[in-house]
């Protein structure tokens, strides 16, 4: 009877029977979650919480990436700005040192009115003929004094000698011919050389110009040519003016100045392009036209202060009284 009652109790509670391969208690049912867009019924609901963590962490990573990108852009912009500022300062100093090249007078250095060799040879031949005629007439006159020739011939020789001498006088010579004499051509050459040397000395100044223009060789490589080397060396030692004693040397100096002028124009264009770029990029420190004070010269602000201090109080009060 006891065994039957135990068996009857076991049959009344079938949930307590343990079967192999199954859990003793059923797992609690999870709340229903929205199905994914794919529409599958087997979508797991457990990993939903890590997905939310990933979604939260993604904006932080994007913000840090944007900040690092902004910092890199800022650093690159600052580097580019500093390079542009140093380049503009270098060009400004270079243009300031070589600005006298724009004062070059081509006509003075080219000596376009230089008498050519043919004119010099013709004038020399006329001079020799004049001297020979005067010597012949003088010899005839002297021969008449000694009695070798008749007196009338000696007198004719004297008259011819006087006339030939008068024909050599400049203001009488201009009456019958417009051709310059040999001495006129020689004096003209000397005057042209003197004017060219004076102009070269004005261009060179106290510091020298040619050797400073050699720094613009990046804009015109012709300035580094070996034929200009003695010219730049003498300019550096302030001895170039004494070396310019011949026309070929002055023409060499003219060629160098023309090449330096080309380099100056290119450097000036580069400077203005950089200035406009700085304005477009919004870099006022680069685009500002700062004036560098010369050695031994006070800055403009200091000069203004001294001028204000030097003006009497009555003069300072005068504009205010006029305004009232």
CA distances from 157 to 131, 144, 298 (A): 14, 9, 78
> What gap in Å lies between CA 139 and CA 148, rounded to an integer?
11
Burial bucket for residue 243 (CB in 10 Å: 0-12, 13-18, 19+): middle
> What gap in Å lies between CA 125 and CA 111, rounded to an integer?
24
Q: Which of 231, 285, 257 is nearest to 106 (CA)?
A: 257
pLDDT at 11 (0 to 100)? 47
> What gap in Å lies between CA 80 and CA 74, rounded to an integer?
10
> What gap in Å lies between CA 170 and CA 165, rounded to an integer?
11
> What gap in Å lies between CA 300 and CA 298, rounded to an integer?
6
Number of residues that make up the chain: 324
> What gap in Å lies between CA 196 and CA 101, rounded to an integer?
15
pLDDT at 197 (0 to 100)? 94
Number of H helices, E strands in the chain: 14, 0
**Helix axes 48-97 and 247-281, enclosed angle (nearest 10):** 150
Q: Please, what is the end-to-end C-alpha distance for the chain in angstroms?
A: 133
Nearby residues of 219 by Cβ (< 8 Å), 6 or more positions away: 262, 263, 264, 266, 267, 270
Nearby residues of 288 by Cβ (< 8 Å), 6 or more positions away: none
Residue given tokens 């076991």 in the structure block? 10
Nearby residues of 252 by Cβ (< 8 Å), 6 or more positions away: 227, 228, 231
> What gap in Å lies between CA 160 and CA 112, rounded to an integer?
39
> What gap in Å lies between CA 156 and CA 324, rounded to an integer?
97
* Tokens at 22, concatenated: 């199954």
Question: Tens digit of pLDDT per residue, the chain (324 long)?
Answer: 444 445 444 444 545 455 555 555 555 555 554 444 444 444 444 444 444 444 444 454 555 656 666 666 666 767 766 777 777 788 888 888 888 999 999 999 999 899 999 999 999 999 999 999 999 999 988 888 887 888 888 889 899 999 999 888 888 888 888 888 899 999 999 999 999 999 999 999 888 899 999 989 989 999 999 999 999 999 999 999 899 999 999 999 999 999 999 999 998 888 888 777 777 766 665 555 544 434 334 434 334 444 434 444 444 444 444 443
All structural domains of the chain with their residue ranges: 98-114+189-284, 116-179
CB atoms within 10 A of CB 256: 23
CB atoms within 10 A of CB 181: 18
Judge whether 106 and 254 are in contact, CB under 8 Å: yes
pLDDT at 27 (0 to 100)? 54
**Half-sphere exposure for 292 (CA within 13 Å, toward CB):** 11
């Amino acid at each position: 009877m006891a065994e039957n009652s135990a068996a009857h109790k076991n049959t009344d509670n079938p949930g307590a029977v343990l079967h192999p391969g199954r859990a003793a208690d059923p797992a609690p049912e999870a709340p229903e979650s929205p199905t994914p867009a794919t529409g599958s019924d087997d979508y797991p609901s457990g990993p939903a919480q890590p997905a939310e963590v990933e979604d939260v962490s993604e904006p932080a990573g994007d913000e840090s990436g944007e900040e690092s990108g902004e910092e890199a852009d800022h650093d690159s912009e600052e580097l580019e700005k500093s390079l542009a500022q140093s380049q503009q300062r270098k060009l400004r100093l270079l243009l300031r040192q070589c600005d006298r090249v724009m004062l070059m007078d081509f006509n003075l250095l080219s000596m376009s009115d230089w008498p050519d060799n043919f004119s010099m040879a013709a004038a020399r031949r006329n001079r020799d003929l004049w001297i020979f005629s005067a010597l012949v007439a003088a010899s005839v006159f002297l021969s008449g004094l000694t009695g070798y020739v008749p007196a009338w011939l000696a007198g004719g020789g004297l008259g011819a000698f006087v006339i030939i001498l008068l024909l050599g006088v400049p203001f009488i010579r201009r009456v019958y011919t417009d051709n310059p004499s040999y001495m006129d051509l020689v004096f003209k050459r000397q005057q042209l050389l003197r004017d060219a040397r004076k102009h070269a000395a004005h261009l060179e100044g106290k510091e020298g110009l040619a050797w400073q223009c050699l720094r613009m060789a990046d804009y015109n490589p012709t300035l580094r040519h070996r034929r200009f080397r003695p010219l730049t060396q003498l300019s550096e030692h302030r001895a170039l003016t004494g070396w310019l004693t011949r026309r070929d040397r002055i023409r060499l100096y003219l060629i160098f100045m023309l090449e330096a002028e080309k380099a100056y124009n290119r450097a000036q264009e580069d400077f203005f392009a950089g200035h406009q770029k700085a304005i477009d990029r919004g870099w006022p420190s680069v685009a500002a036209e700062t004036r560098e004070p010369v050695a031994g010269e006070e800055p403009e602000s200091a000069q203004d202060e001294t001028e204000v201090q030097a003006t009497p109080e009555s003069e300072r009060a005068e504009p205010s009284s006029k305004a009232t």
